[in-house]
A and B are shown apart, each in its own frame.
Chain A
Amino acid sequence: MMENNLLPLIIELNENTDIMIAVIRGSKFSYVNPKLQNDLGYSLEELYSMELWDIVHPDLREMTRQMGLARQRGEEVQDSYELRLLGKQGNSFWVHIKAKNTSIEGETAVIVSAFDISGRKAIEADLLRQKESLLLLLENNPVATILVDPEGKTLYVNPRFIEYTGYGLEEVSTSQVWEEKVLAEMPNRREIMRSWYQNLKEIGYSKGKVILRRRDGKRRFFNIHSVALPDGHIVLAAWDINDQVEAQKILQESQARFKALSEASFEGIIITENGICIEANQAAEELFGYSREELMGLDVMSFTALEAREIVKSQMMSGSQAPYEAVVLRQDGTRVPVEIQARSFIYQDREVRAAAIRDLSERRRAEEEIYRQSTNLQALFYNTPDAVVLCDSLHRILDANPRFFEFFGYSIEECRGSILEEVLVLEEMREESAFMSRMVSSGQAISRESVRKKKNGELLPVLVTMIPIASSGYYVLYTDISERKEAEATIQQQIKELEAKNAEMERFTYTVSHDLRSPLITIKGFSGLLLQDLEKGKTARLQKDIQRIINASGKMEELLEDLLELSRIGRILNPYSNFPMNQLCHEVVELLSGPVSQKKAEVVIAPYMPWVHGDRRRIAEVVQNLLENAIKFMGDNERPRIEIGYFPGEGECVFFIKDNGIGIEAKYREKVFGLFDKLDQSTEGTGIGLALVKRIIELHQGRIWVESAGAGQGSTFYFTLPDVPDSKKGEE
């Protein structure tokens, strides 16, 4: 029992405490402190009249009544419990109650103290709610979630985890299972797990990418984040990133492909976004003179030449894909003409524009070169000394230079479109021309000397050169070779003359070495013999031997004169003239009338003979020599007859002198024309006559030969002289 003087203080405390205090007798309040009364909102009268469970929340009222009844019965009941009270205004609040049985004045009573626990209750409810929603969240989380205790035991996996991996909680409960099964695809899993825990311990979280082997054996990429809770538990969140990884891989590959492609490209490729360069290939680096890093983030305009900015801008704005030309500025300030073809598209959710930029400077240079060349070519075409024709592949004339007109008389207007062959080529030369056309059509240049026909029908000797051109068709060049041809002919003629002279020279030296020596041997030999005979006093042969010496001297003189004469023929020619052959023959016959009448020979001169062109005196010598020969070798024919005649040959006049004398055997027919060759040693002369004749005829580009049926059959000497063009006839 407390001291009585403390009682007022206790009462005071009772009245002012925040603890609710009540004393209960039976089922009624016998005391209620102001706090309780206040919180419930009832008056004291009301409270004392009420059953004590009336202030309990209906949910708990029955339970409280039973407890109260039990307590009254003296049964053992709970001393401390929580109860929800209901105020007069319908307000309810939770209290923590402590009840203690006591006795007042011998009567059982209960002292009840209570304090408001509504705040705590609300927090508790809140927590519960939170927990429930968390669980709900976990259960429905699209992220696989795992809870692991500090010992590494898996406490919880959410349905998503099961769905993702196929494993249930029981199957992944220990870290050993994780290591052996779930992470089996990762060869370095042990280290990974160790560093994982390390991170959790040190910084409280850990994250990374792992490969999980699913229950069905498939491997999937997962991203895992984990957090260490204060109590050492670990929450892991894992989500399948396999599709993402695959997509990433595909993306990477395609990026690599783009890169490879664009690096391989000769064109500069840049990708821009809003006019800012975000990617560039190597060719672009080279083209702009910037490194790729420098290009990145650079405004396109900064490497676009001023005058090209407008077009570049408008192209970018319109998204046009058509190629266009512009000028870019290199870092060093050089201007480069380019062709740009760009295209806008969506790339990784960004609207970008890829531009292929081709350096045109080479092409420009080439174009300029082509222009220069074509100008040169044109100059050549118009100024070359050759006639030049351009034909298409069907051999039609497309163009011809002014020289063509000069050469052939056709202007380009009148022959354009005509078949070249039909214009210029003679009928009989079509085969050759067609051959050349075939060659040039097969792409082969061909050059040939030929003849082409002028408009007026004249022929022009030309060197025809056909040159195929790459596109199609060909050029034909005609080089006038008439002068060259003439020169060639002249040279040929000169060569012939030289050869003739050479042969003559040879014959001459032979003559000197043989024929001139011959009489000398005689002279010296017989002089020696004369001396011997004189020494011995022999005189019988003197006269004869002296005669031999005289004869040999005479012969020698004769030879020397003939040689002189022969050498004159080659050197001294009288001027050529035109003269009628007929007249000449009559003159010669007149000259030889003596010997002719002596032999009683009949000489017949053909009534018609043409004019000839040559050295009249020499030709007269020819006729005279042949006539003398005919008379000399007349033999013993009783009616000697000599016929001088003519017939036309091919481009030449053929004259003949025919006799019915002794004739010449076939084997000697060439020999008779040799220098100092004589068939019969006993005849007069040195044998120079026919050699001389041959020489003169050859100098006139003629031929000479003899025909004879044989000994006693007579002979015919033929000689030819070139035809005289009609235009030259009558000229003296």
Chain B
Amino acid sequence: MDESMLNILLVEDNEDHAELIMRSLEEQQIKSHVFHVTDGEKALDYLFHRGEYSQEEKYPRPNLILLDLRLPKVDGLGVLKEIKQAEELRIIPTVVLTSSESENDIYRAYNYYANSFLVKPMDFQQFNELMLKLGRYWLKCNANPVR
């Protein structure tokens, strides 16, 4: 796995949003590889190599998790809680990326040790900028524990 590349696990139930994110990253030329899952249960399965994601080589551990909060089955906070409780997962920077601006959500997310909380901008330009900053930050600025 390329260490100079972001291996992102994108947990997003909205296909359109996932498409937007991936296209934006691509557009900004962020060296990244995105694994997209559509609900919380699948996200956890992926991370714990369960079920359809049991092949570790095929589904490598990400060095960044982009997590939506409103998810079917297990919601984002539930996923976050499990990640941060698992010794082998808690070091993975987990960024909440949601359309919610609710203070309650922000507080609860940090309470479950989220590494960052980002609100999806409604404006297309801002959306692109955020993706650029996000990619640069996690790829260039931040020293990543997961190699």
Contact = CB atoms under 8 A, between A and B. Distances in A.
Do A and B make up one complex?
Answer: yes
Interface of A: 509-510, 513-515, 517-518, 520-522, 524-529, 532, 548, 551-552, 667-668, 671, 677-681
B13 A527 contact: no
A668 B14 contact: no
A514 B17 contact: no
Given A525-B17, A528-B125, 17 more contacts: A509-B102, A513-B99, A513-B101, A513-B102, A514-B99, A515-B70, A517-B120, A518-B99, A521-B16, A521-B120, A521-B121, A522-B14, A522-B17, A526-B16, A528-B124, A529-B20, A677-B72
A521 B23 CA distance: 14
Contacts of A680: 72
A529 B101 CA distance: 24
B7 interface: no
Contacts of A527: 124
Interface in B67-90: 69-70, 72-75
B122 interface: yes
Would you list the 6 A-B pairs with minimal beta carbon distance, nearest first? A528-B124, A522-B16, A517-B99, A525-B20, A514-B100, A514-B99
B38 interface: yes
Contacts of B27: 532
Interface in B31-78: 38-39, 69-70, 72-75
Nearest to A532: B27
- Secondary structure of the A contact surface, majority rule: helix
Contacts of A518: 14, 17, 99
A677 B100 CA distance: 15
A127 B101 CA distance: 152
B123 interface: yes
B127 interface: yes
A633 B14 CA distance: 22
A510 B13 contact: no
B122 A524 contact: yes
Contact of B122 (A515, A517, A526): A517
A548 B75 CA distance: 24
B94 interface: no
Contact of A522 (B13, B20, B100): B20
Interface string B2-29: 0000000000011011011001000100
A83 B77 CA distance: 170
B98 A521 contact: no
Nearest to B98: A514
B117 to A, nearest CB: 14
Contacts of A668: 73
23 contacts: A509-B102, A513-B99, A513-B100, A514-B98, A514-B100, A515-B70, A517-B99, A517-B100, A517-B120, A521-B99, A521-B122, A525-B16, A525-B127, A528-B124, A528-B127, A529-B124, A532-B27, A551-B16, A552-B16, A668-B73, A671-B73, A680-B72, A681-B72
A671 B14 CA distance: 18
B102 to A, nearest CB: 6
Nearest to A529: B23
Contact of B13 (A513, A551, A681): A681
Contacts of B98: 514
A528 B124 CA distance: 6
Nearest to A549: B16
A95 to B, nearest CB: 163
Interface core residue of A528, A668, A671 (most chain B CB under 10 Å): A528
Contacts of A513: 99-102
B71 to A, nearest CB: 9
B3 to A, nearest CB: 30
B77 to A, nearest CB: 12
Nearest to A541: B23
Interface core residue of A522, A525, A551, A680 (most chain B CB under 10 Å): A525
Contact of B17 (A510, A521, A677): A521
A484 to B, nearest CB: 37
B124 A510 contact: no
Contacts of A532: 27
Contacts of B122: 517, 520-521, 524
Contacts of B101: 513
Contacts of B100: 510, 513-514, 517
Given A520-B122, A521-B20, A510 B102 contact: yes
B58 to A, nearest CB: 23
Contacts of B14: 518, 522
A16 B134 CA distance: 192
Nearest to B24: A525
Contact of A548 (B16, B69, B102, B120): B16
Contacts of A548: 16, 19
Contacts of A681: 13, 38-39, 72
Interface in B108-141: 120-125, 127-128
A668 B75 CA distance: 10
Contact of A679 (B16, B69, B72, B121): B72
B12 to A, nearest CB: 10
Contacts of B125: 528
A686 to B, nearest CB: 13
Nearest to B69: A514
A522 B2 CA distance: 31
Nearest to B27: A532
Nearest to A674: B75
A521 B127 contact: yes
B36 to A, nearest CB: 13
B86 to A, nearest CB: 17
Contacts of A522: 14, 16-17, 20
A519 to B, nearest CB: 8
B128 to A, nearest CB: 8
A666 to B, nearest CB: 12
B124 A524 contact: yes
A679 B101 CA distance: 23
Nearest to A506: B104
Interface core residue of A509, A515, A667, A681 (most chain B CB under 10 Å): A681
Nearest to B23: A529
A528 B123 CA distance: 9
B90 to A, nearest CB: 22
Contacts of A677: 72
B44 to A, nearest CB: 12
B78 to A, nearest CB: 9
Nearest to B125: A528
A478 B100 CA distance: 56
Nearest to B13: A681
Contacts of A509: 102
Contacts of A526: 16, 20
